[in-house]
Amino acid sequence: MSSDRKLGFDTLQIHAGARPDPATGARQVPIYQTTAYVFQDADHAARLFNLEEVGYIYSRLTNPTVQALAERVAALEGGAGAVCCSSGHAAQIMALFPLMGPGRNIVASTRLYGGTITQFSQTIRRFGWSAKFVDFDDLAALEAAVDEDTRAIFCETIANPGGVITDLDAVAAVADRVGLPLIVDNTTATPWLCRPIDHGATLVVHSATKYLTGNGTVTGGVIVDSGKFDWSASGKFPSLSEPESAYHGLVFHKALGPMAYTFHSIAVGLRDLGMTMNPQGAHYTLMGIETLSLRMARHVENARRIAEWLEADPRVDYVTYAGLPSSRWHDRVARICPKGAGALFTFAVKGGYDACVKLVDALELFSHVANLGDTRSLVIHSASTTHRQLSPEQQEAAGAAPNVVRLSIGIEDADDLIADLDQALAKATA
């Protein structure tokens, strides 16, 4: 094969990061269930610890199975490098860690997963960090929220729970003007529907727990670096642009260029935060990614059919699916997610909160769980669960009002899913 040929997505999702095992010739990536690795000699160990040579030291830092997953996700996202960690929430903290310091802040979208809003509004304050929440459809308000202490802008490609598609091109333009990295959570879109780096994102984060693995067996997270941001330009990112005392004054950006952020996240982030992905979890995610494009095509096809059916049903007030022509975000689908608007959305049930609870209890094929991105179709009433900790105003802004339920559409027969919703709506609105 010509070395300059660009491989397609379906090929990369199977082959990227995977090589026959040098010891056995095993075709599938083995599970390297080991804590530590034998050094060739004392000089080899010293070179590894000084970051003068790339290799394996200790599985809190790097592991061959986990590294194969990092390479695969980076290839699918079009990034320079990636780091895997223990969960999607860990990925968010890891993503911010090289950028932040006491007194620094981020500007984040109001339309985020409830757990992310809590992490950003409450938990990161313990590090001395803070977050400002802005409607990212209001670009003037977004830019106005940035101040001298802002170090990143954060949003989701397809917002959880409402399925709202963010105008990444417009948001990235704001980030460029203010000289800040744009971090995009691409969990609900996956790189099959959208590659945020192509739209100007600096960093992409994933909860690998969701569509990447795809079968509800693993918790994991991934951070992908575009390799395109100039960490030395503004003096705002000293972790990357100034000498690191723990590595004899190494300046990560100067020494490592496009791989500076990735190496810092391993050599400092994983070393000290310890948010490590286990190799068995990485193995399951690698296997899941092999069928990502096939699954996502069915997820999207089913979601479109079910959203259309729900919108036409008189027992439903409205449906938030961006793939519907009636959606105020429909014009973004062709530009941001040209293969479809994903498979996550909400709908409002006539009868409000009580009717939503009855609907959830009456569903039979839909599983009532706090997850998304499974092969199985899932349902949850966000206002009483994932977004319960938010104020009513925050719930409304996040798209998790008391009268809506969130659906994550799986890959079952769409007619069976519609029949299940039909019988449950009958009981909920009787």
Mean pLDDT, rounded, for 347-375: 94
Residues 6+ apart with CB under 8 A from 176: 200
Structural domain contains residue 112: no
- pLDDT, one tens digit per residue, over 115-152 is 899 999 999 999 999 999 999 999 999 999 999 999 99
Count of domains in the chain? 2
Domain end (from 272, 288, 304): 288
- pLDDT, one tens digit per residue, over 74-97 is 999 999 999 999 999 999 999 999
Structural domain contains residue 215: yes
- pLDDT, one tens digit per residue, over 206-247 is 999 999 999 999 999 999 999 999 999 999 999 999 999 999
- Return the structure tokens found at 78: 């079009």
Give the pLDDT of residue 1: 46
Give the pLDDT of residue 419: 98
Structural domain contains residue 176: no
Say if residue 185 is in the same domain as residue 272: yes
Contact between residue 152 and residue 180 where contact means Cβ atoms under 8 Å apart? yes
Contact between residue 323 and residue 281 where contact means Cβ atoms under 8 Å apart? no
The DSSP secondary-structure symbol of 127 reads: G
Where residue 330 sits, what CATH number does that domain have?
Answer: 3.90.1150.10
Structural domain contains residue 162: no
Say if residue 297 is in the same domain as residue 284: no
Structural domain contains residue 170: no
The 10 Å Cβ neighbour count of residue 176 is: 12
- pLDDT, one tens digit per residue, over 39-67 is 999 999 999 998 889 999 999 999 999 99
Structural domain contains residue 202: yes
Mean pLDDT, rounded, for 162-169: 96
Say if residue 193 is in the same domain as residue 313: no
Say if residue 339 is in the same domain as residue 421: yes
Give the pLDDT of residue 402: 85
Structural domain contains residue 206: yes
Say if residue 314 is in the same domain as residue 247: no
Contact between residue 360 and residue 405 where contact means Cβ atoms under 8 Å apart? yes
Say if residue 242 is in the same domain as residue 297: no
Say if residue 271 is in the same domain as residue 343: no
Say if residue 271 is in the same domain as residue 371: no
Give the pLDDT of residue 3: 61
Q: What percent of the chain has pLDDT over 70?
A: 99
Say if residue 250 is in the same domain as residue 301: no
Domain end (from 288, 303, 331): 288
Say if residue 268 is in the same domain as residue 190: yes
Say if residue 88 is in the same domain as residue 232: yes
Which residues form the domain of 356? Answer: 292-428
What span, in angstroms and rounded, lies between the C-alpha atoms of 17 and 85?
A: 17
Domain end (from 288, 308, 342): 288
What span, in angstroms and rounded, lies between the C-alpha atoms of 421 and 415?
A: 10
Give the pLDDT of residue 221: 98
Burial of 52 (0-12, 13-18, 19+ CB in 10 A): exposed
Structural domain contains residue 105: no
- pLDDT, one tens digit per residue, over 265-295 is 999 999 999 999 999 999 999 999 999 999 9
Where residue 63 sits, what CATH number does that domain have?
Answer: 3.40.640.10
371 backbone dihedrals φ, ψ, rounded to 5°: -155, 170
Say if residue 252 is in the same domain as residue 314: no
